[in-house]
Amino acid sequence: MTERWRSTTARLIMIYGVFFALWGGVVIGLIYWQAASYLGRVSDELIGRQAAYFSMLDEPTRLRALKDYDTLETRRLNAWGEFDARGNYLSGTITALPSHVPINGAVALLPEGVSRNDVSGNDHGRVRAAAVRLRDGRVLMITRDTSIVDRIGTIVLQALLWGLSLTVIPGFLGGWLLSRGPWRRVHAIRDATLPIMQGNLAQRLPVGRRGDELDMLAGIVNAMLDEIERLLGEVKGVCDNIAHDLRTPLTRLRSRLYRLQQQFGEGSEEAAAIDACMIDTDALLDRFRALLRISELENQRRRIGFDEVDLGEILREVHALYLPLAEDRGQQLALELPVLPLIHADRHLLLEALSNLVANAIKFTPSGGRVEIRARPADDGPWVDVVDSGPGIPPDQRDAVIRRFYRTESSRSTPGSGLGLSIVSAIARLHGYTLEIAGSDRGAQLSLHCRAARAV
């Protein structure tokens, strides 16, 4: 759900909702300000005229008009009061004369209201008031409550909230619904890329009938994959043909060298030179066999032969196979093996991969060192760690050591073709496993994670 709200559709809808909320707030606020200003001006003009009118009446007529002014307003919005020249209460519904109200007929706003005797307690609502001095020196003040203007503000605010709810709620619902289609298509594209990442370049991204941006992008990627597959196929075909074609003449060359060696006496200079040539020829044959082996592993059709295998049994077999070699080199080969679940794999390929890891660790560990095979279960698949006490692999070369023929500076003097880890990497990709390389200057740690084994 969190990732879905990160989609472009959801973000556009949320941006529109925020923009609408801000703009709606500005518009509603402007409407409220204009309405309040207009009603305030009308109210002030009315109060001023009423105060001037009442001041011109004689006392009996004024009292009757003031009572009508009060009683005709059913909501008790109007109030009035008469005070002597010193401001003492004489009559009316207002019992106290505020000191800051000018006695010249000008309208003043009283935020805290006035004290009245026709309501329970003091009326603390905002009022507009006007005070005038009568002919006999007394003071008349009339007020009008501003609750109508305040009520208009409340109505406007409620209208804004309802308008926002009618926009935000359908907006979020619409964003969630509109993002479902693109999100499903993005997930389909992601699922289609997983086999490509594992080396299956024949896989293509799904293209719908809409012809929108996602379909255009998928089409571009598919065209790119077609060209990459074609170019890699040509390169792979050339390399495989070279490796295959050179194996036959090299095998003949080694046979002739062997027959020629038999013509010289054992220990002669000629026999020693021919023996060195045979060793180099064997190294070339091993490299060509490894190249063809990698090419074979990169064929995804090998997955057909996968079955449930016991990883613990394979590890015990590898330990027993390489224990004599480690002892001959004066090394310790330890096995740490807990209970492991069955995994879906090709048993022979997995045995080959683990054998290469252990053989590689033994080769680069000095005499007196230690090599450990550690297995550990995990929720997403078991791990196999091969840890040695050799020179280690520098961090900047850990991604390069799985490339074909790559060798670190510290391993160039050690016999080998530089294809062992390439074979392990190819087997891992075929199974959907992950090969991780770690360690320090006190040794290397190569880990095989079988997290994708069950999904193959």
| Angle at the Cα of 294 from the Cα atoms of 362 and 250, rounded to 5 degrees | 90
Mean pLDDT of 296-310: 65
CB of 346 closer than 8 Å to CB of 431: yes
Global pTM?
Answer: 0.44
Give the CA distances from residue 215 to residues 185, 195, 206, 208, 209, in Å, rounded to whole numbers and listed in that order.
9, 19, 8, 6, 8
Give 345 or 18, the one with higher predicted confidence.
345
Please state, in angstroms and rounded to a whole number, the distance separating the CA atoms of residues 346 and 309.
8
Burial of 431 (0-12, 13-18, 19+ CB in 10 A): buried
**Contact predicate 36/28, CB 8 Å:** no
- Judge whether residue 364 has pLDDT over 60: yes
Please check whether residue 422 is in contact with residue 402, taking contact to mean a CB–CB distance below 8 angstroms.
yes
Strands 139-145 and 78-83 come out as antiparallel
- Going through 291-420 in order, the beta strands assigned E by DSSP cover 307-309, 332-336, 343-345, 370-376, 383-388
CB atoms within 10 A of CB 169: 11
Q: What integer is the mean pLDDT of 392-419?
A: 59
Per-residue model confidence (pLDDT) at position 452: 44
pLDDT of residue 254: 75
Mean pLDDT of the chain: 77
Convert the pLDDT of each residue in 191-206 to its tens digit.
888 777 766 777 788 8
Q: DSSP letter at 7?
A: S
Q: What is the predicted pLDDT for the residue at 400?
A: 60
Q: Collapsing DSSP states into helix, strand and coil, what is residue 181?
A: helix
pLDDT at 401 over 70: no
Confidence grade of residue 217 (pLDDT, cut at 50, 70, 90):
confident
Domains, the chain, with CATH or none? 9-150 (3.30.450), 213-297 (1.10.287), 304-449 (3.30.565.10)
Note the pLDDT of residue 227: 84
Residue 456 reports pLDDT greater than 50: no
At residue 412 the predicted structure's pLDDT band, cuts being 50, 70 and 90, is very low
Cα 1 from chain centroid (whole Å): 11
Across 177-186, average pLDDT:
72
Cα gap 24→47, rounded to integer Å: 34
- Exposure string of 112-129, with b = 16+ CB inside 10 Å and e = fewer, is ebbbbeeeeeebebebbb
Q: What is the pLDDT of residues 139-180, one digit of tens each?
A: 999 888 877 777 777 777 777 777 777 666 776 676 666 666
Residue with tokens 């320090």: 440
More confident residue, 420 or 290: 420
From 12-26, 75-89, 286-300, 404-418, the region with the lowest mean pLDDT: 404-418
51 or 346, which is more confident?
Answer: 51
**Tokens for 426?**
């190819």
Distance set, CA 73 to CA 113, 154, 260 (Å): 18, 22, 131
Q: What pLDDT, on a 0 to 100 scale, did the predictor assign at position 87?
A: 87
What integer is the mean pLDDT of 205-232?
81
Cα 359 from Cα 354, distance rounded (Å): 8
**Which pLDDT score, from 0 to 100, does residue 22 have?**
79
In the predicted structure, residue 8 carries a pLDDT above the cut 60: yes
Question: In this structure, which amino acid lies at residue 176?
Answer: W
Q: What is the pLDDT of residue 236?
A: 61
**What is the mean pLDDT of the segment spanning 226-243?**
68
The set of residues, in sequence order, having a beta carbon less than 8 Å from that of 304 and lying 6+ positions away, is none
Average pLDDT value for residue range 130-142 = 90
User: Which pair of tokens denotes residue 302?
Assistant: 């090998």
Give the tens place of pLDDT for each residue, 312-331: 899 999 999 989 889 888 99
Q: 132 pLDDT band (50/70/90 cuts)?
A: very high
Whole-number Å distance between alpha carbons of 213 and 218: 9
Q: What is the pLDDT of residue 319?
A: 92
What is d(CA 258, CA 239) in angstroms, rounded to the nearest whole number? 28
Is the confidence at residue 289, as pLDDT, over 70? no
| Of the candidate ranges 91-100, 222-231, 391-400, 440-449, the one whose mean pLDDT is the lowest | 391-400
Q: pLDDT-derived band of residue 247, with 50, 70 and 90 as boundaries?
A: low
Q: Look up residue 374 and give its DSSP letter.
A: E
Residue 124 pLDDT exceeds 60:
no
Q: Kindly tell me if the per-residue pLDDT of 2 is higher than 60.
A: no
